[in-house]
Structure 1
């Protein structure tokens, strides 16, 4: 997978995690894990500004989970899976392994993303992450916006959860 594609996929994941619109968690999936779905958008400003949007499904917890990203027509764009000591990115017919979800997001976006905070934000709970600010004021409406001001580049993640 090209570095550019990996960055786009990870930016999507960041957008999901940081600008997530959140309602209380939807009913657990068949395995009993927390589950959210909806649309996310990520914008990263920098030398080469990028923006991305996709449908998503997020299952699991900060220590082990899965994030799937979908095109507007429902095609799978990427799947991220993580567990203690490993992370995996599957996209464009290729699979890449990483020692952690932080390492995966670092390579894909140029910075490690606060996925553990995303789970708290989606639950409507504040979580402190250096450089990030999450607006939880519309979480009851299924909307979340998270912005990163430092380190550069700045980023904005927007999430709109699908209403039950």
Structure 2
């Protein structure tokens, strides 16, 4: 897996009641096992930095607010509203249509820097969209 920096925009919509939406610019570096994901608002302020390594997952929301989680999936769920599968996300960002239970990825526009994925299980459904910087 690539360990270089990937940047772009990410959005996630969870079809819950009420619908939860999240979108931000991102900077992703590392691997599925050890990495860092910075989420940045449209105005350029850092919304949070997610860091993970074996046995540790941390969300730094700035201002000294740090939350610790038992897994990167739990961390992603807290930060974005749904447990985005980090291992599959790294694969999708490389153009590899990795399968993960409950998710279906569409890489048909990968050459344009666009990735979509849909979670059908567990409920509620969720839609993930990624636009990579070229």
Does residue 1:66 correspond to 2:39, yes or no? no
- d(CA) in 1 for partners of 2:9, 2:74: 24
Aligned-CA RMSD value: 1.6
Q: Using a 3 Å threshold, how does the CA distance of structure 1 residues 106 and 39 change in structure 2: closer, same or farther?
A: closer
TM-score (norm 1): 0.75
- Listed one character per residue, the Cα deviations across residues 27-77 of structure 1 (whole Å, up to 9, x for unaligned) are xxxxxx322101111111112211121110000000000000001121100
Q: Name the residue aligned to 1:143.
A: 114
List alignment gaps of at least 5 residues for structure 1: 1-24, 26-32
TM-score (norm 2): 0.91
Does residue 1:102 correspond to 2:76, yes or no? no
Q: Which has the larger share of helix? A: 1
Q: Which has the larger share of strand? A: 2
Higher RCO (CA < 8 A, seq sep 6+):
1
Does residue 1:115 correspond to 2:62, yes or no? no
Give the SS at the match of 1:34. Answer: coil
Does residue 1:44 correspond to 2:11, yes or no? no
- Listed one character per residue, the Cα deviations across residues 87-107 of structure 1 (whole Å, up to 9, x for unaligned) are 000115210111221232345
